[in-house]
Amino acid sequence: MSRKIKRGYYVKGQFVEEGSELDIELKAEMKGTTELSKTDLKREMDRLQQLGEDLLTLRADLLAGLDLSEKLQDALAEAKRITNFEGRRRQMQFIGKLMRLLEPETIAAAQAALETQHKGSAEEKLALHQAEQWRDRLLANDAALTEWLSVAHTQGNEPDPQHLRALIRQARKDAQAKQPPESAGAAVRHGKAYREIFQHVKTTLSAEDQGTDAH
């Protein structure tokens, strides 16, 4: 089996493989003083190793869209399985070395994928928070139902007011029935009506976000 020929060059009789740490350091020294180059090199190495660690949290569909080498993909999968602290530390160093071999376009794509995931997570959390706020307002104040029906109407959603009122009354009854007198201060247990109100609000708000994105 033929060995893969390494690409590189010689410096003072020493072979320097392209993409190696020595290659990066030598190229960095050409840009300025040695001390500054080493500082920049260390910063870049740390940045790429952190980027590799961040890839461990990337969704499978976004990760699959990146042009990563098979060796790097295997290294990331192995890192997820390692629980030993020292073993994981060594594995992350290995991943950092592999990250330094990536093309700039691939690194940029990885950063963009992480930003896409972060943005989606933030928007989902905000939507859930808004749905929770509306649900609590509907249960706390009868006047909030009129305001909510107006919001739903602007999104082309025409919920049945009588049905919503029935759900609200049932959710209030469930909260009182499921809270024994001696458990004052404990977390309130909720029933099906409570969850249905939340789901209705969440679905309506999601439709609103989709409409905004479409525009």
Which of 24-38, 113-127, 166-180 has the weakest average pLDDT? 24-38
The encoded tokens of residue 215 equal 């525009």
- Whole-model pTM over 0.85: no
Helix 34-54 and helix 21-29, axial crossing angle in degrees, nearest 10: 140
> If pLDDT is split at 50, 70 and 90, which confidence band does 32 have?
low
pLDDT at 36 over 60: no
User: Who has greater pLDDT, 92 or 21?
Assistant: 92
Q: By three-state DSSP, how is residue 67 classified?
A: coil
CA distance 166 to 182: 28
The class that CATH gives domain 121-214 is: mainly alpha
CA 167 from centre of chain:
34
Average pLDDT (155-173) is 85
Give how far Cα 202 sits from Cα of 64, 135, 154, 191, Å.
Answer: 30, 9, 15, 17
CA distance 89 to 30: 31
| Percent helix / strand / coil, the chain, rounded to 5 | 75, 5, 25
CA distance 92 to 84: 12
> If pLDDT is split at 50, 70 and 90, which confidence band does 209 have?
low
User: Who has greater pLDDT, 64 or 9?
Assistant: 64
**Average pLDDT along the chain:** 80
pLDDT at 185 over 90: no
Average pLDDT (190-195) is 84
Q: Per CATH, is 8-102 categorized as 2.40.10.10?
A: no
Sorted by where each begins, the domain ranges of the chain are: 8-102, 121-214
User: pLDDT at position 207, please?
Assistant: 66
User: Who has greater pLDDT, 85 or 152?
Assistant: 85
User: pLDDT at position 212, please?
Assistant: 47
User: pLDDT at position 178, please?
Assistant: 57
**What share of the chain has pLDDT > 70, as a percent?**
81
pLDDT at 215 over 60: no
